Each structure stands twice: as structure tokens, then as C-alpha cells.
Amino acid sequence: MITEHPIQSEQVQLLAADGYPLSATLYHSPAAKAHLLVAAATGTPRGFYRRFAEHAAAQGFSTLTLDYRGIGESRPDDLRTLDMHFMDWATKDLAAATDFLHTPERPLFMVGHSYGGHVLGLIPDNHRIAGLYTFGTGAGWHGWMPGLERYRVALLWKVIAPLITRRKGYLAWKRLGMGEDLPMGAYTYWKRWCSYPRYFFDDPELPHLAEQFAQVRTPITAACSLDDLWAPPKSRDVFMAGYSNAPYQARTIDSQAEGLGAIGHMGYFRSHAQPLWDEALSWFEQLASQNRSGSA
């Protein structure tokens, strides 16, 4: 039985390689046995993951959440002035978080949410991450989505989002009730990649990504719920095939049959999904135990 410990957190500022300051929160565990990085979904501030981070820290995982550039407390005063690429959240922001957490004494794991499962192959020195457990990660293409959602998302990309961005200079996502506003550099490439069945693996400008992701050897588990309209199992399987040489397992969640209630695309990190958190943390513990046995 896992014993929970009192949790203390502190606000920290990370500095990306290009000098961009990033707001983050470190949740300490007095009995830390591993470090854990939370890689957030697109447009999701770090506060959304607080309960999960506290729970993970209570079970011995010193946990870091962060706001990507342009999001939450890492947002500039005028979002229109932020010149960035969607990949910067991985290649620069999560890279800074990985540098901050990595130590030789304890393993470093990563929990992803949606975009957070796309990024492992993009993070420099990703071999330092000992395991990725990601929720709700899919290829993003509306064609993988069921019925009505397919047409709603197509309308969003083809009509609603272009109208908003032309007027505002960024995607005013909050006004749609769908998360934080997005910088143009994030919106432009997110829209572009979601137009391809295999996401950025189909982008003719990025032919190197297939080989880059094939080099990942980190163990991965990708979980998605049957009621996740944005990342159903087929969408997950198509994207995760890009990690072609990583030890990989899929976890399909029947949230109603498992007594979890509605999960959708965002419910993985709400309190009623705690059994899923415990699955992920137990998997990390198994990896840590295997690594210790292998190095003994």
C-alpha cells in the first residue's frame, strides 16, 4: 500500500536555450524516488495538472509542471508579438524542463497529455527520459474522429479559426471555451498538421521526423478513452506507430465499464480519473525497478 506524504510546492522559473523565461511549479516529495515531468496538452496551463502533480509527489515522484511559452504565466503582455514555432514547446521549453530535472541519482519520467505525447521524439537528449506514459495522444486528423465531431472540427479549422486569427492576430481559444489563447506560431502548425492523417509525419517539409522518431528507445504507454472524441484508439495507433523502435503498449480505457464516468479529451487529469494516475505511476515504478535490477 502506498503511503502519501505532505506535499510542498514552489514556483520556479526556467530559462529556455533561446533565453525565453518559463513559469513552472515543482512539487516536492520528502521521499522522492524519481522525477516526473508533466508535458501539457495544447493550450492547457500548468494549474490544470495541479491535483495530479500533488498526487504523484505524495507517492514519491518529485513533479514539475510548466507553462509553455505563450501560455498561462509564460504569456507575454501582447500575444501577437510572440514569434515562435509549435515545436518550440518541445525543442526548447520541455528541453529546459528536462535539463532542470535530470540528475544521475534518480530516474526521470514523463507524463504526457495530447500534445505531450507528440514531443518525446522532438526533445533533445530524450534518452534521459526513462519512460513516457501519455493520455489522449492521437494524430489530430478530423477523419479519425467519430461522426458529428469530425464535422465540428473541420468547421473549426476551415472557417472559425481563420476568421478569429485574421481579426486578433492569434487564436482566441478562450472565447471558444477550449483552453488558453494560442500564439500564431502554435496555431499555424497545429492546423497544418491536423490536416494530415499521420499528423506531422505526413508533412512534406519534415521528412526527417520519421527517422528521428525511429531512434527513440524509451518505453512508452499510450492510453486513450473510448469516449475521447479527439484521440480515439485508431488516431492514437496511427501516431504512435511513429515511435517504431520504442518498447510500446497501448491502453484503451472503457471509462464507463471501469466506473470512471466520462473522460473525454480532458478528463484524464480530473480527480475522478485517479485510478488512471495510479496505473501510470505504478508503471513508472516497475520501470525504475527494472532499471535498478539491470544495473545491479
The pTM for the full model equals 0.95
Torsion of CA 111, 221, 188, 212, to 10 degrees: 110
Q: What is the pLDDT of residue 17?
A: 95
The mean pLDDT of 73-93, rounded to a whole number, is 97
Q: Is the pLDDT of residue 5 over 60?
A: no
Reading the block at residue 278, the C-alpha cell is 495510479
In the chain, the domains with their CATH numbers are: 8-295 (3.40.50.1820)
Region 16-39: mean pLDDT is 95
Percent of the chain with pLDDT over 90: 91
Rounded Cα distance, 28 and 17, in Å:
25
**What's the chain's average pLDDT?**
94
Summarised one tens digit per residue, pLDDT across range 182-198 is 999 999 999 999 999 99
Summarised one tens digit per residue, pLDDT across range 204-217 is: 999 999 999 999 99
3-state SS track over the chain:
CCCCCCCEEEEEEEECCCCCEEEEEEEECCCCCEEEEEECCCCCCHHHHHHHHHHHHHCCEEEEEECCCCCHHHCCCCHHHCCCCCCHHHHHHHHHHHHHHCCCCCCEEEEEEHHHHCCCCCCCCHHHEEEEEEECCCCCCHHHCCHHHHHHHHHHHHHHHHHHHHHHCCECHHHHCCCCCECHHHHHHHHHHCCCCCHHHHCCCCCCHHHHHHCCCCCEEEEEECCCCCCCHHHHHHHHCCCCCCCEEEEEECCCCCCCCCCCCCHHHCHHHHHHHHHHHHHHHHHHHHHHHHHC
Reply yes or no on whether the pLDDT at 296 is more than 60: no
**Band of pLDDT at residue 230, cut at 50, 70 and 90:** very high
pLDDT band at residue 108 under the 50/70/90 scheme: very high
pLDDT tops 50 at residue 2 = no
Identify the band that residue 1 occupies on the pLDDT scale cut at 50, 70 and 90.
very low
- State the average pLDDT over residues 160-169: 93
Alpha carbon distance 37, 218 (integer Å):
15
Quick one: what percent of the chain has pLDDT higher than 70? Answer: 97
Mean pLDDT of 69-78: 97
Q: How far apart are CA 6 and CA 252, in angstroms?
A: 32
pLDDT of residue 206: 97
Of the ranges 2-6, 114-118, 144-148, 157-161, the best mean pLDDT one: 114-118
Dist. CA 67–CA 34, nearest whole Å: 22
